[in-house]
Amino acid sequence: MTTPVTTPEAAERFAALTEKEPLGEYNYTHFRTKHLLQDAQRTIQKQGILPGEIAPDFELPRAGGGSLRLSDLRGKPALVHFGSFT
Amino acid sequence: MQFVDVMVRQAHPGPAEPAYATFEEKREDAETYQREEGISWPVLVDDLEGTVHQVYSGLADPSYLIDADGRVAYYNMWTYSPVLHQAIEALLAQGGRGVVLGEGIDQTPHLMPSMTDGWKGLRRGLPQSFVDMETAAPTSATMMWLGHQLRPLLAPLTLREKPLPASAKIVIGGMVVAAAALVLRSRRGQASG
């Protein structure tokens, strides 16, 4: 089984998150009202990486093979979008 | 410009698309997603814990425009193409570096794109995804189904890539005012008649 690759930077940022969800809660089996409320709260609190900040580096496997490291894209602008299959 | 997609957890799981038990399942979905949506840029697969996703907010559908130095130039918390289009143009115009469009953040919960296009995702988790969505936010799943049926009508407005030109805003504004005036007139007519 292939395991994802993350950089120490992403792993450290993850470990430092105060409101991170454990696996069972993050990888939920039912969509609930609390997920909507959580997103509303995160939006109001501007959670995430704010404008002007260095985007924490990560390296992840690519669909179709290989992997991509964010910092390899330096030198030109990039658009990173997060989304779900469902 | 380099576009990158990152595949996150199942947002609306169901019997055919349950919460990921293995990374391989997630990778397979990323491959299907890339193929079905005809995506030409890289689709990356986050780990099961959502390490990268959670560091980058854990929101359902955020986008980050990252400048040539690796800094966030614009943070679109609820992905909305017309806003991103403006942000990308502004970033290219200033040489690919720096924060763009004022404070560089859009917190508006843009719901119209998911109301028009969200059914594609919800459909993969049927019937549980529909029941869960209606329970979480009554009528929202029905609205997504309706939005899908009306997609040809709505898409030019709700899924447009670019901001509306000023002339189109004036036309739409005029139509809203005219509709309001008609409603008021008919009410007055009823009151006096």
With a cut of 90, say whether residue B190 has pLDDT above it: no
Where do the domains of chain A lie? 8-73
Contacts of B109 in chain A (CB under 8 A): 39-40, 43
The verdict on B151 and B125 lying in the same domain is yes
Average pLDDT over residues B110-135: 95
In this structure, the answer to whether residues B116 and B157 fall within a common structural domain is yes
Q: Which domain covers residue B176, as residue numbers?
A: 164-193
Structure tokens at B156: 């030019």
Pairwise CA distance, residues B180 & A18, whole Å: 48
Same domain, B138 and B175: no
- Residues B169 and B144 occupy one common structural domain: no
| Residue B101 belongs to some domain of the structure | no
Query: Within an 8 Å CB–CB cutoff, is residue A7 touching chain B?
Result: no
B122 in contact with A, Cβ within 8 Å: yes
pLDDT at B164: 84
pLDDT tens across the length of chain A (86 residues) = 457 888 888 999 999 998 889 999 999 999 999 999 999 999 999 999 999 999 999 999 999 999 999 999 999 999 999 999 99
Q: Would the CB atoms of A11 and B59 count as touching at under 8 Å?
A: no
Residues 37-66 of chain A with CB under 8 A from chain B are 38-40, 42-44, 46-58, 60-64
User: B96 and A39: CB-CB below 8 Å?
Assistant: no
Return the sign of the alpha-carbon dihedral for residues B110, B114, A34, B61.
Answer: negative
- CA B55/CA B70 separation, integer angstroms: 16
Domain annotation covers residue B47:
no
Mean pLDDT, residues B80-109? 97
Do A40 and A30 touch, CB atoms closer than 8 A? no
**Are both B156 and B172 inside the same structural domain?**
no
What is the pLDDT, as a whole number, of residue A2? 54
B126 and B156 share one domain: yes
- Cβ contact B34:A64 at 8 Å: yes
Residue A1 is predicted with a pLDDT of: 44
Residue B66 in contact with residue A80, Cβ under 8 Å?
A: yes
List, in order, residues 6 or more apart from B68 with CB less than 8 Å away: A74, A75, A76, A77, B95, B96, B97
Same domain? B132 vs B150: yes
Q: Is residue B45 part of a domain?
A: no
Tell me the pLDDT tens digit for each residue of B37-91. Answer: 999 999 999 999 999 999 999 999 999 999 999 999 999 999 999 999 999 999 9
- This model of the complex carries an ipTM of 0.96
Contacts of B75 in chain A (CB under 8 A): 48-51
**What's the structural domain count of chain B?**
2
